Amino acid sequence: MNTLHLHTPRGGHVAARVFEPPAGTPTTLQAVIGAAMGVPQRYYADFAAWLATQGVRVLTFDYRGHADSLALLQHRRVRHVDATLHDWRADYEAATQYLHALAPELPLRLIGHSLGAQLPGLFERTDHIDGLLAVAAGSGYWRQNAPQLRRRVLFMWHGLVPVLTPLFGYFPASASARWATCQPA
């Protein structure tokens, strides 16, 4: 596994890792794993390492302001990160372009988890991407939640998010997620 520091077109600093197939195993495919929002790339490390044993070169990354990418910044505090959805899109797209440039002759596939399956729809360029496997990629629209969650999700987006985000400087999602899904702490 090689650790990288990618610079993205929108001024981002992105920590990434490339998992290479073992020596003697031909590389037949490349894949970028696009994480769910707030999920660090280390969550996908075992899966990426396994894919590498199957002949797939895999790149994982942390969106700017998350996990290892946050450590690349001077202030290293989430409340000081000013990133938008379009910045994260640019981070993801830069990761795909970096991996494609390593071996443009190999097919490049995306494995997107939640937000990581939604952002490719916003990419400026997709001609180098050969496919997308979407995992748990909901629409994000509150009415498409299970009936017992609709009111809670509506309150979360129109009550908790607008109040807690300015208060903390970011949205404390892990605590809010337990509340919204009725999971015990």
Please state the pTM of the whole predicted model: 0.84
User: 123 burial class (0-12, 13-18, 19+ CB within 10 angstroms)?
Assistant: middle
- d(CA 172, CA 168) in angstroms, rounded, equals 8
Print pLDDT tens along the chain (185 aa): 899 999 888 788 899 999 999 999 999 999 999 999 889 999 999 999 999 999 999 999 999 987 888 888 766 666 666 778 899 999 999 999 999 999 999 999 999 999 999 999 999 999 999 999 999 987 777 788 888 888 888 888 788 888 888 888 777 776 655 554 554 44
Using H for helix, E for strand and C for coil, what is the string for the chain? Answer: CEEEEEECCCCCEEEEEEECCCCCCCCCEEEEEECCCCCCHHHHHHHHHHHHHCCEEEEEECCCCCHHHHCCCCCCCHHHCCCCHHHHHHHHHHHHHHHHHHCCCCCEEEEEECHHHHHHHHCCCCCCCCEEEEECCCCCCHHHCCHHHHHHHHHHHHHHHHHHHHHHCCCCHHHHHHHHCCCCC
Domains, the chain? 2-138 (3.40.50.1820), 141-185 (no CATH)
Q: What are phi and psi of 116, to 5 degrees?
A: -65, -15
